[in-house]
Structure 1
């Protein structure tokens, strides 16, 4: 008897949740298009592609802050000096000052 009442309670509690589920048809009926509809679509597609070809290409700078900056963009960083065997960046042949 307890099992039957537990099943009845579960059914009663799930009924409102089932009522809120959307009615989704996963297998809609296949609609075929007539030749007239296909021709209208072709005309619409051609008109759309023609209108896209009339839009000019943007040739301007893509830097939105370009007119605000006062200094020109900085050049690339200077190349690093070659390091010697000791790991210092001093020029070979130059003597470093030594403390006495």
Structure 2
């Protein structure tokens, strides 16, 4: 009798455990669709898309090409000499004239 009770108790307690272990584990099996459903376009939609692409390409052709300089320091450096370069040379000659006249 004791053996029957132990067997019955194990059967009752073991059934939920085996059912729990036998069910699929959802955390390890994500629901990922590897083949996405793509909708096909109607002929009217395809024609409209081709017209948009054509208009876009034509508008790109209307944009003028920018003529850029290859000199990266072009905005920093001045190519034209300024008149200040000539002014110090006249001052130095004037100083020399004064120094020379006071020494004599």
TM-score by length of 2: 0.42
- Tell me which protein shows more helix as a share of its residues: 2
